[in-house]
Structure 1
Amino acid sequence: MKGCFILFLVSFFCAAGNAQKYKLAAPDKKLLAEIENGRQGIRVTLIKEGDSILNLTNLGLITDQTATGPLQVKRIKRNTVNEVIQPLIKEKSDKYHNSYNELVLTFRSRQSLTFRLFNEGMAYRFTTDIQDSLTVFDETLNVEFQTEDSVYFQSERSFNAAYEQPYEFKQLNELDPARLCNLPVLIQKQRGKFVMITESDLYNFPGLWVKSDGASRIRATHARYPRTLVTTDNPYSSGQVGETFDYIARVAGKRTYPWRIFAVADHEEDLISNNMVYLLASPTELKDVSWVRPGVVMFDWWAKNNIFGVDFKAGINTETAKYFIDFCAEKGFRYFLFDDGWSPKNDLLREVPGLDMPAVTAYAKSKGVDVMVWVIWNTLKDQWSEAFDQFERWGIKGIKMDFMNRDDQQMVAFYEAVASKAAEKKMVVDFHGAYKPCGLSRKYPNLLTREALIEFEQSGVSDSDNPRHHNLLPYIRMFTGAMDYIPATMRNANKKNFRHFGDYPMGWGTRAHAMALFIILSSPMTMLPGSPADYRREQECTDFLSKIPVEWDESRLLTGKIGAYTVLARRSGRNWHIGAITNDDPRMIDLSTGFLKPGRYHIEIIEDGVNAVTAATDYKRVRRSFTAGEILKLNLAPGGGWLARITPEQ
Structure 2
Amino acid sequence: MKRMMKRLLPVLMAIAPLTICAQKVYELKDISGKVQVNVIVNDKNVEYSVLHDNDVMVAPSPIFMKLTDGTAFGLNPKVKKISRRSVNETIYPPIYKKKSIKEQFNELTIDFKGGYSLVFRAYEDGAAYRFVSELKKPFMVESEQASFCFPNDPKVFVASPKGRMNEGKKDPFYSSFQNTYLETALSAWDKEQIAFLPVLVEGKNGKKICITEADLMNYPGMYVKHGEHGYSLDGIFAAYPKTIVDEVRGLKGVVKSREPYIAKVEGNTAFPWRVMVIAKDDAELLCNDMVYKLATPAQFTDFSWIKPGKVAWDWWNDWNLYNVDFRAGINNETYKYYIDFASKFGIEYVILDEGWAVPGKADLFEVIPEIDLKELISYAKSKNVDLILWAGYRAFEKDMDRVCKHYAAMGIKGFKIDFMDRDDQQVVEFNRKAAETGAKYKLLIDLHGTFKPTGLQRTYPNTINFEGVHGLEEMKWAEPGTDQVIYDVTVPFIRMVAGPLDYTQGAMNNVIMKNFHAVYTEPMSQGTRCRQLALYTIFDSPINMLCDAPTNYLKEEECTKFIAAIPTVWNQTLPISGKVGEHIVMAREKDGIWYVGGLTDWKERDVEVDLSFLADGEFNAEIFRDGINADRVGKDYKREVIRVSANKKLNLHMAPGGGFVIRITK
Deviation for aligned residue 1:480: 0.4
Asked whether the equivalents of residues 458 and 465 of structure 1 are also in contact (C-alpha less than 8 Å), the reply is no
Which residue number in structure 1 is paired with residue 240 of structure 2? 225
In the alignment, structure 1 residue 406 sits paired with structure 2 residue 422: yes
Deviation for aligned residue 1:62: 1.3
Deviates most, 55-64 or 579-588:
55-64
Give the letter for the 1:356 counterpart.
D
In the alignment, structure 1 residue 376 sits paired with structure 2 residue 392: yes
In structure 1, distance between residues paired with 2:131 and 2:297:
19
In the alignment, structure 1 residue 311 sits paired with structure 2 residue 325: yes
1:18-417 matches, cutoff 5 A: 18-64=22-68, 67-68=71-72, 69-89=75-95, 91-156=96-161, 158-214=172-228, 215-232=230-247, 234-236=249-251, 238-303=252-317, 305-345=319-359, 346-417=362-433
What is the percentage of aligned positions where both structures have the same residue?
A: 34
When residues 608 and 588 of structure 1 are mapped into structure 2, their CA distance, relative to the original with a 3 A threshold, is same
Deviation for aligned residue 1:390: 3.2
Deviates most, 59-68 or 636-645:
59-68
In structure 2, distance between residues paired with 1:108 and 1:522:
43
In structure 1, distance between residues paired with 2:560 and 2:450:
30
Secondary structure at 2:514 match in 1: coil
Asked whether the equivalents of residues 148 and 190 of structure 1 are also in contact (C-alpha less than 8 Å), the reply is no
Give the letter for the 1:300 counterpart.
D
Asked whether the equivalents of residues 147 and 171 of structure 1 are also in contact (C-alpha less than 8 Å), the reply is no
When residues 56 and 205 of structure 1 are mapped into structure 2, their CA distance, relative to the original with a 3 A threshold, is farther
* CA deviations over 1:269-293 (Å, ceiling 9, x no partner): 2212321100000000124221110
In structure 2, distance between residues paired with 1:389 and 1:464:
42
Deviates most, 321-330 or 112-121:
321-330
In structure 1, distance between residues paired with 2:316 and 2:205:
45
* CA deviations over 1:482-541 (Å, ceiling 9, x no partner): 011111211101112111111111010100011100110111100011111111100111
Deviation for aligned residue 1:235: 3.3
In the alignment, structure 1 residue 558 sits paired with structure 2 residue 562: no
In structure 2, distance between residues paired with 1:138 and 1:263:
24
In structure 2, distance between residues paired with 1:304 and 1:452:
22
Asked whether the equivalents of residues 614 and 645 of structure 2 are also in contact (C-alpha less than 8 Å), the reply is no
Which residue number in structure 2 is paired with residue 3 of structure 1? none
Asked whether the equivalents of residues 388 and 416 of structure 2 are also in contact (C-alpha less than 8 Å), the reply is yes
Asked whether the equivalents of residues 150 and 190 of structure 1 are also in contact (C-alpha less than 8 Å), the reply is no
Which residue number in structure 2 is paired with residue 443 of structure 1? 459
Deviation for aligned residue 1:544: 1.1
In structure 2, distance between residues paired with 1:158 and 1:547:
41
In structure 1, distance between residues paired with 2:605 and 2:147:
41
Deviation for aligned residue 1:465: 5.3
Asked whether the equivalents of residues 468 and 563 of structure 1 are also in contact (C-alpha less than 8 Å), the reply is yes
In structure 1, distance between residues paired with 2:65 and 2:417:
32
Give the letter for the 1:161 counterpart.
S
Secondary structure at 1:556 match in 2: strand
Runs of 4+ in 1 over 6 A off after TM superposition: 13-16
Which residue number in structure 1 is paired with residue 8 of structure 2? none
Deviates most, 496-505 or 65-74:
65-74
In structure 1, distance between residues paired with 2:368 and 2:249:
19
In structure 1, distance between residues paired with 2:146 and 2:457:
26
Provide the TM-score with structure 2 as the length reference.
0.93
Provide the TM-score with structure 1 as the length reference.
0.95
Deviation for aligned residue 1:15: 8.0
Alignment length (residue pairs) = 634
Which of 631, 639, 664 is the aligned partner of 1:613? 631
In structure 1, distance between residues paired with 2:267 and 2:45:
22
Secondary structure at 1:270 match in 2: helix
Give the letter for the 1:494 counterpart.
I
In structure 2, distance between residues paired with 1:324 and 1:490:
16
Deviation for aligned residue 1:233: 5.8
Deviation for aligned residue 1:570: 0.3
In structure 2, distance between residues paired with 1:190 and 1:27:
22
Asked whether the equivalents of residues 400 and 437 of structure 2 are also in contact (C-alpha less than 8 Å), the reply is no
Asked whether the equivalents of residues 147 and 172 of structure 1 are also in contact (C-alpha less than 8 Å), the reply is no
Deviation for aligned residue 1:399: 0.4
Secondary structure at 1:76 match in 2: strand
Deviation for aligned residue 1:66: 6.6
Asked whether the equivalents of residues 604 and 622 of structure 1 are also in contact (C-alpha less than 8 Å), the reply is yes
Give the letter for the 2:238 counterpart.
A
* CA deviations over 1:366-410 (Å, ceiling 9, x no partner): 222110111110111233344223323432111000010111111
Deviates most, 402-411 or 376-385:
376-385
Deviation for aligned residue 1:644: 0.4
Secondary structure at 1:243 match in 2: strand
Which of 527, 535, 538 is the aligned partner of 2:545? 527
Asked whether the equivalents of residues 318 and 522 of structure 2 are also in contact (C-alpha less than 8 Å), the reply is no
Secondary structure at 2:530 match in 1: helix
When residues 271 and 426 of structure 1 are mapped into structure 2, their CA distance, relative to the original with a 3 A threshold, is same
Deviates most, 337-346 or 405-414:
337-346
In structure 2, distance between residues paired with 1:310 and 1:109:
71
Which residue number in structure 2 is paired with residue 511 of structure 1? 529
In structure 1, distance between residues paired with 2:54 and 2:466:
38
1:467-616 matches, cutoff 5 A: 467-616=485-634
Q: Which runs of 5+ in 2 are unaligned?
A: 1-16, 162-170
Asked whether the equivalents of residues 195 and 265 of structure 1 are also in contact (C-alpha less than 8 Å), the reply is yes
In structure 1, distance between residues paired with 2:651 and 2:247:
56
1:616-631 matches, cutoff 5 A: 616-631=634-649
Secondary structure at 2:475 match in 1: helix
Secondary structure at 2:493 match in 1: coil
Deviation for aligned residue 1:58: 2.3
In structure 2, distance between residues paired with 1:545 and 1:235:
36
In structure 2, distance between residues paired with 1:572 and 1:16:
60
Give the letter for the 1:179 counterpart.
Q
Which of 406, 416, 424 is the aligned partner of 2:440? 424
In structure 2, distance between residues paired with 1:626 and 1:578:
13
Deviation for aligned residue 1:304: 5.2
In the alignment, structure 1 residue 637 sits paired with structure 2 residue 655: yes
In structure 1, distance between residues paired with 2:277 and 2:577:
20
* CA deviations over 1:454-477 (Å, ceiling 9, x no partner): 000001111535211100111011
| RMSD (Å) for aligned C-alpha atoms | 1.6
Deviates most, 60-69 or 625-634:
60-69
